[in-house]
Structure 1
Amino acid sequence: MDTNNSGQRLLTELDFARISKLNRGQLPEDLIEDLNSADLVLSQGISPDIVTMNSQVEIDFDGSAIRQKFTICYPKDVDAGLGFISILSPVGSALLGRRVGDTVSWQMPLGEERSAKVIAILFQPEASGDYTT
């Protein structure tokens, strides 16, 4: 599903626990594999340059000048018009746990390969002192 030029995913223990509680039937198989191999840290110990749940990220698609902002959220909070994308979407699951500067790739539902570079994290709950969202 996704590749990371900088290494393994880094997740907060809280994000891991909450995502793991989602209906396993909903989780993409690749996401389950990535969750099981991710490095876990306490929310207070996550670096501000890591994409966590509820982070707003700016990405550059396929090396182009096209940039988009997304907030990675849980399925119940999805609002595509406002840029809230589900952790269960191909791009959402590819971005979680990645670092600014990483390039990720994923497969779209019809099989098309896409990639993007994480340009910036515009908001990360943990960086603002919110360790429970």
Structure 2
Amino acid sequence: MTKLSSTRSRLPALVISADDHHRLTMLAEAASDRMPDVAEVLLQELDRARVVKDGSAPADRVRMGSTVTYRSDAGERTVRLVYPGEADIEAGRISILTPIGAALIGLNPGQSIKWTARDGAAHQLTIVDVKPPAA
């Protein structure tokens, strides 16, 4: 099962723009039949996020299109967070509808989060750097 750490009080604070929040909520609801575990995790993250006006989210927060460098048990990696149709793991484009994509949204450098992969393995990642989407 895909889920975040069960210790909700230890989850990092998230900030998401109103547009990202709306679009991601619609995407997760539409995916709930095909990918219920990941859709549920994404909806949980969106529910606990602080939603801010479009253009008001800090530039160092992970949002759709951001390039993110994170550190995990597998080492350091740089990826871009994208919508499912743009995903290409070999090109470093990670879909928001993956366990790691849902874990990344709304975080900023220095924050860490635990997440569970589709195979049930528990992981933790720490955000190292966030570059905003290209204009």
Q: What TM-score results when the alignment is normalised by the length of structure 2?
A: 0.82
Question: SS of the counterpart of 2:110?
Answer: coil
> How high is the sequence identity, in percent, across the aligned residues?
25
Residues 1:11 and 1:47: Cα distance change in structure 2 (over 3 Å): same
Which residue of the other structure, out of 42, 66, 69, is the alignment partner of 2:53? Answer: 42
Partner of 1:21: 26
**What is the rounded CA distance, in whole Å, between the counterparts of 2:44 and 2:4 in structure 1?**
11
Q: Contact 1:6–1:102 at 8 Å: present in 2 too?
A: no
Q: Cα distance, 1:38 vs. partner? A: 1.3
**What is the rounded CA distance, in whole Å, between the counterparts of 1:21 and 1:109 in structure 2?**
22
Q: What RMSD in Å do the two structures reach over aligned CA positions?
A: 2.0
Partner of 1:78: 87
Q: Deviations over 1:99-123 (max 9, x none)?
A: 11001111011110011110001x2
Residues 1:6 and 1:37: Cα distance change in structure 2 (over 3 Å): closer
Whose helix fraction is larger, Structure 1's or Structure 2's? 2
- Give structure 2 stretches of 5+ with no counterpart: none
Partner of 2:114: 105
- Give structure 1 stretches of 5+ with no counterpart: none
Question: SS of the counterpart of 2:113?
Answer: strand
Q: What TM-score results when the alignment is normalised by the length of structure 1?
A: 0.83
- How many residues get paired? 124
